[in-house]
Amino acid sequence: VSTDAGSYVSVADNGTTGSTRFGAVSNDFKIDVNSAERLRITSDGKIGAGTSSPKGVLDISGDQPDLVLTATDTSGASGQKMGAINFYNSDPSGDGPNNAAIIEAQHAGSVGNAANLLFKTKVAGSEGADALEAMRISSDGSVGIGTSSPSNKLSLGLTSGATTRLL
């Protein structure tokens, strides 16, 4: 179907009253399901789910939007990564992109759904190295800064001779 509003391909089966259509509108690609827009890729490469005008590279909009990362590996070994959000930067030095920061969830035990949340950062000048753990929130709610095994509600891993100062 081609109109002044865009060109679409519609898909429906005999047993439903709704349909799915996809096609071009202006310079964008969009997908409609049951007469409502569900996904759009704009001409400048932005992807919108639940919005026709995405504000960033990926814009997920809704009353209570969730971004879900599902680990399908059922082994669940303690310390195994469940999922992560990686922040890469471009590196003009020739070493290629760097994983500058990571927020990672990992299994806290071999059974159940307990998880630790790790925050990893990269020190300037560590070309080619991955981001290292800087802070952890353990499954019991303990926070460790500079330590991967917090023993109190707040544990600070200090080098010898370091001064602790909390404001």
* pLDDT one-digit tens code per residue, 63-95: 998 888 888 888 878 888 999 998 887 766 665
Is the confidence at residue 10, as pLDDT, over 90? no
Contacts of 74 (CB under 8 A, 6+ apart): none
CA-to-CA distance for 143 and 136, rounded, in angstroms? 6
pTM of this prediction? 0.74
Are the C-beta atoms of residues 103 and 119 closer than 8 Å to each other?
Answer: yes
Residues 135-142 have a mean pLDDT of 95
- Mean pLDDT for the chain? 84
Residues 134-142 have a mean pLDDT of 95
**Highest mean pLDDT, choosing among 3-12, 79-88, 117-126:** 79-88
Q: What backbone phi and psi angles, to 5 degrees, belong to 164?
A: -95, 130
